[in-house]
Amino acid sequence: MKEHSRAQTRQWRAGEAPGALPLLGHGLALRRTPLAFLSSLPARGDIVRIRLGPSTAYVLCAPELVHQILAAPEIFDKGGPIFDRARETMGNGIGTSLRHVHRRQRALMQPSFSSQRITGYSKVMHEEVQRVVTSWSDGCAIDAAEVFGELAARATIRTLLGAHLTEKEITALIPHLDRAFHLAYRRMTAPIAALTRLPTPSTRAFWESITAIRALAQVCINRHRQEGGSPDSLIAALVSTTTDERAFTDEELLDQIVTLFFAGTESTGAALTWTFYHLANNPGAEEALHREVDDVLGGKPASVSDLPMLGQVNRCLTESLRLTPPSWLLSRTVTSPAELGGVKLPAGTTVFFSPYILHHLPEVFPAPEDYEPDRWLPERASRRQKAALLPFGHGARRCIGDTFGMTEASLALATIATRWRLAPDSDAPPAQQAIALTLNLRTFPVIPARRKH
């Protein structure tokens, strides 16, 4: 209560980002060097005005202001140029829909993400992690970014669609997911919306992949209705959903499936890749992780029942999500005139918030560029730090798959760490960030070394 009161009485700093270009505003900087641009904004104020083409938008640089908009979804609805274009490409799914639609969608989908359901889904997660850890050879280099991306994709596809896809269909689907995901970012950050409608090769490739994804999802819906299938699959839960609300139409089901593909594949793969990257560069944290998995697991694969005892696993993932959050930029649209941080916002104004900005504020996180899993020990993590940590959003629009993703990433991290150590390949080029809809590494060549117990 005291923190909320302080947020209301605090004198907020309003500022403006310099360097806007004619016609484009700050759109080019946000597309070409987004992290550097965003990182420069807290010095300008707590709420910073930017220009996107001819339009004015605001970026929030204080956790308290972000929580104010997330606590008032009726005023700050999902929207803005990024989400509007995402809606064009992914459909009107739970990640992109407006509030009045989202509330119904979430009510229909929430039972599919219960703890009991996630325990059922973990069987597929376990099988996919086992497939990975048993495929490596001691001393033979792999690209961890590619491996973890495929791991997350396969686990998401199999969990979502159950036994309704053949191995050949799964293999064919993965490249379409990858291509659609990365081309979507170009479309969503185009400085001029009309550019996304030109019949360029990338536009044709994008729609070819989206069409293929939706067509295969429809095949699975039809197969489930005709043949039944695994009751532990998400598609079974969604197709058979019955509540007081109207059940999903096929078109709505397809929108949800595409949304879950996008959310479940790239974010979890990125979180795992970054976590192993940070561990490889922080031997102390890696040693603490190995001690814990050795004590708790004793060389066996991790299961859902082990996770409450794997605090270091959770802290390693949490610190990775803080330092390099896959979801790095989100936005809302003002639905009616409002005031935020002392700034009057007309209806239709776009407001951005960036977990990356919040997670790197030195006044909230001391030594923000350091990877320190122990900062999340219960006795060390402050209330303000917990409030500023927003890898999955917060409030009514918090990611519905947050527990699903953390469960999958935790099982993978613990099982891999108990068997293997991943050392960066010194002969490979340095790892480089790739900024798309998620923050990830383009490649991360590593050499697996089998651990001895």
Domain boundaries defined on the chain: 1-80+329-369, 92-274+291-307+398-453
pLDDT at 261: 83
pLDDT at 288: 98
Measured torsion, CA atoms of residues 195, 197, 199, 200, in degrees rounded to the nearest 10: 40
| Residue pointed to by tokens 């929207």 | 79
Residues 295 and 272 sit within 8 Å (Cβ to Cβ) = no
Q: For residue 185, what are the contacts with CB-CB under 8 A and spacing of at least 6?
A: 435, 436, 437
The 10 Å CB-count burial string (b at 16+, else e) for 387-421 is bbbbbbbbeebebbbeebbbbbbbbbbbbbbbbbb
399-427 tens-digit pLDDT: 888 999 999 999 999 999 999 999 999 88
92-274+291-307+398-453, which class in CATH? Answer: mainly alpha
Region of residue 435 (left: phi > 0; alpha: psi -120 to 50; beta: else):
beta
315-362 tens-digit pLDDT: 999 999 999 999 999 889 999 999 999 999 999 999 999 999 999 999
pTM over 0.85: yes
| Residue pointed to by tokens 């929030």 | 60
pLDDT at 1: 39
Share of the chain above pLDDT 70, in %: 92
Average pLDDT of the residues of the chain: 88
pLDDT band at 229 (very low <50, low <70, confident <90, very high): low
Instruction: Quote the CA–CA distance of 36 and 38 in Å, as a whole number.
Output: 6
pLDDT band at 230 (very low <50, low <70, confident <90, very high): low
Domain 1-80+329-369 belongs in CATH node 3.30.43.20: yes
pLDDT band at 192 (very low <50, low <70, confident <90, very high): low
| Residue pointed to by tokens 């590593």 | 446
Specify the higher pLDDT residue, 186 or 371.
Answer: 371
Residues 216 and 165 sit within 8 Å (Cβ to Cβ) = yes
Residues 368 and 361 sit within 8 Å (Cβ to Cβ) = yes
pLDDT band at 3 (very low <50, low <70, confident <90, very high): very low
- The partner residues of 50 in beta bridges, in order of sequence, read 57
Hey, what amino acid is at 331? S
Residues 141 and 179 sit within 8 Å (Cβ to Cβ) = no
Mean pLDDT of 77-84: 75
> Out of 104-108, 307-311, 332-336, 421-425, which region has the weakest mean confidence (pLDDT)?
104-108
Instruction: Quote the CA–CA distance of 261 and 116 in Å, as a whole number.
Output: 21
**Tokens at residue 55, please?**
């339009």
Is the predicted pLDDT of residue 369 greater than 80, yes or no? yes
Mean pLDDT of 89-118: 84
Is the predicted pLDDT of residue 2 greater than 50, yes or no? no
pLDDT at 203: 85
